[in-house]
Structure 1
């Protein structure tokens, strides 16, 4: 295993009998004791982890007593970990989180975009309404950050700033969970305006392994990790939404596997019973390659039953269709994981 290993072709996109495009990337599978279990490409590939950080970013809110103070429901806590569709239930739940901390949607600094779920966007237009920050796919994370800001008695107006107490706690917690020094984490600005973290894929996989199997962490942190997993397991619709992979993966496996996508082709998941974490990066950022690669990795690791694989087949090898809805090709995984 070399830290300078080249990206591997993970996914081929065919049209007819020809491979028309390929997507290269990297995968790292690590257990909760930081042993590398399997990989392809460069398991230490350094990249922004984007929204895969969200479940870990929920931990400081819980360590500060957020569950007791606000009596969050599983759906509300799951939404704090979400990149949601902006469906009506998602927007309403984000508002509920804000109200529990004495705020409303005007406090959100995540920006506005239409719901990711096209029927939800169409329904807004047909009703004569426009999208608000509540429909932003990151509104749950931002609502959680604001709730933590209130708990810390910190200014809510600047909660997205890198030097704000909330963001400092986020950075420290992500660093500790992923086993890296805070100063080694690259910082940028995410699409929703808050700091985004860069680290090796193997560190992200380790963080997810510990999130699902936190037995070696302090009692307060272990409790927070279990609360995050319990919420995402109980309310997977609020992690993503209708038709989304994160939701279906949890539903199909009965919460045995919990995953979270990130923009620009990043995915991370935890298998708590096995103490495993997996992180992958599609180098060109293509989302169409992300879920086939994640599903194939789970299959190669023996972590999906035949029934579960059948239910995830539409994500595993999606059809390429033309404008008439005819199948003209396929998006297929072509990699093999190396075992350590």
Structure 2
């Protein structure tokens, strides 16, 4: 059962709270710590992206199309829709012989408010390239082009692109394909339903691929990890905790958000993987939760923890900037 993990206070009184489940898993797939139900099943959402790109990387797609390491990082992104992200989408699609019109993720407002304002001030409309999942969709289209498959219907579960990604995601977490059920993500493609501890195990293996049983996939998953930590801005964006965390720790930690307050991260040194799901799906809970789980796991230096709290202060402010409450991490 989910446990209360955050209190939001006003005048010293608890006004709101969040419940969550957290799994801490080692490279053997063992649960070494937990808060709530570490085996709670949940949709992996965008945190599955590093594993969805694996067949493209393993099949030599990066080299075949001449993609850069930054472009590879973009393929696993949930990006903010900044001009750099739009340029990456356009570049990847051009290299695989397509245009942005091929993207079936739907037009979306950039996650970055600044980027969204810039689009509107330019008198333009939000497009599919602004969609936070346009990187993943670019990767799916690239895989179809690499394998000589039709891009028509590439978002459908029965399409060969989605079938191989379903297989890859299941294998990455030590499950059979039929043990990972499907739903439909916000961007229109299949999304995966599996236990939190399996997600954390996947991230443990992503963070420290050597000796993690990847076999022929080890070089590919290592390339994905290296791209993420080398280009963290491509993975998320300005001010986003995924980007800040990977920059602050100089790639020692790898991190990736998923929608509805699913979050995955791992330590490249020890191979410890961590996944949490905040029960109410609140986006505001992400930053204090990330700092809290890393502190509990002993994965931050005092200086790193102080820098993160300075970046994301655990306080509530009113419209004048007065501090009127606190955010308390309870675990």
Please give the range of the TM-score, normalised by the shorter of the 2 chains. Answer: over 0.9
Query: CA shift at 1:291, angstroms?
Result: 2.1
Q: Within 5 Å, which residues of 2 pair with 1:120-269?
A: 120-215=115-210, 216-269=212-265
SS at match of 1:158: coil
Q: 1:49 to 1:218 in 2, by over 3 A?
A: closer
Query: CA shift at 1:201, angstroms?
Result: 0.2
Contact 1:295 1:316 in 2 (8 A): no
Q: 2:63 aligns to what?
A: 68
SS at match of 1:273: coil
| TM-score, scaled relative to structure 2 | 0.97
SS at match of 1:303: coil
What is the aligned counterpart of 2:88 among 90, 93, 114? 93
Query: CA shift at 1:297, angstroms?
Result: 1.1
Output the CA distance in 2 between the equivalents of 1:186 and 1:324.
47
User: Are 1:106 and 2:101 counterparts?
Assistant: yes
Q: 1:16 aligns to what?
A: 11
Deviates more, 1:39-48 or 1:180-189: 180-189
Contact 1:214 1:222 in 2 (8 A): yes
- Superposed CA RMSD in Å reads 1.2
What is the aligned counterpart of 1:119 among 101, 114, 120? 114
Contact 1:317 1:332 in 2 (8 A): no
Output the CA distance in 1 between the equivalents of 2:220 and 2:330.
38
Output the CA distance in 2 between the equivalents of 1:38 and 1:314.
27
Q: 1:275 aligns to what?
A: 271
Query: CA shift at 1:270, angstroms?
Result: 1.6
Output the CA distance in 2 between the equivalents of 1:225 and 1:332.
36
Deviates more, 1:290-299 or 1:42-51: 290-299
Contact 1:317 1:333 in 2 (8 A): no
Output the CA distance in 2 between the equivalents of 1:88 and 1:315.
23
- 1:180-209 CA distance string (max 9 Å, x none): 121121211000000000100000000111
SS at match of 1:82: coil
- 1:242-289 CA distance string (max 9 Å, x none): 110000000000010010001101000121211111100001101111
- 1:42-66 CA distance string (max 9 Å, x none): 0000110101001111111101111
Query: CA shift at 1:140, angstroms?
Result: 0.6
- 1:103-150 CA distance string (max 9 Å, x none): 010000000111111111111111111111000000011001100011
Q: 2:283 aligns to what?
A: 287
Equivalenced residue count is 330
Contact 1:48 1:196 in 2 (8 A): yes
Output the CA distance in 1 between the equivalents of 2:270 and 2:5.
24
Q: 1:47 to 1:315 in 2, by over 3 A?
A: farther
Output the CA distance in 2 between the equivalents of 1:244 and 1:314.
14
| TM-score, scaled relative to structure 1 | 0.95
Output the CA distance in 2 between the equivalents of 1:30 and 1:39.
9
SS at match of 1:308: helix
Output the CA distance in 2 between the equivalents of 1:245 and 1:220.
32
Contact 1:298 1:304 in 2 (8 A): yes
